[in-house]
Amino acid sequence: MNQGSNIESRQPQKAPTIAVNWDCCAEHLEVLNALTGKQNGNLESRVCKRNFFRKFANLASILNSITEINSKDLSECSYAEVKAFSSSYQESKNALISAFQKESSHQVDKEVTAPDNF
């Protein structure tokens, strides 16, 4: 919900201190500290970027014919480097940024001209 339309502002002291996730293959729930995103003992979450990247690299090595980069190169690359190599990712990201900037500029125009309408 838009913060501007909500009478009550966000009150972090009322927010839960834990987050829980699960999947159909796991035998247990994963309970995380909601502030750090880590499990007790500073263990990584199964839904962190690093683990998703590992899964992606494994999948890309199996399906290397449909990825834009050589799966052998993945083991030597960082997450940021793989994103930089992907032209479809970069095109999508740039289109999203452009759409946000366009919407933002329209929003600024509306705010600037709104007082003139009164």
Q: In the chain, which ranges are continuous DSSP H helix?
A: 49-62, 71-74, 79-85, 87-113
Specify which residues 19 forms β-bridges with: 32
Predicted local distance difference test score (pLDDT) of residue 92: 92
Instruction: Please give the pLDDT value at position 25.
Output: 86
Q: Phi-psi bin for 51: left (phi > 0), alpha (psi -120 to 50), beta? A: alpha
Cβ count within 10 A of residue 45: 18
The pLDDT value recorded for residue 76 is 79
pLDDT reported for residue 7: 61
Using a cut of 0.85, tell me whether the model's pTM lies above it: no
pLDDT of residue 69: 65
pLDDT per residue as tens, the chain (118 positions): 455 556 666 676 777 888 999 888 888 899 998 888 888 888 888 888 888 888 888 887 777 666 566 666 677 788 888 888 788 888 999 999 999 998 887 665 555 454 444 3
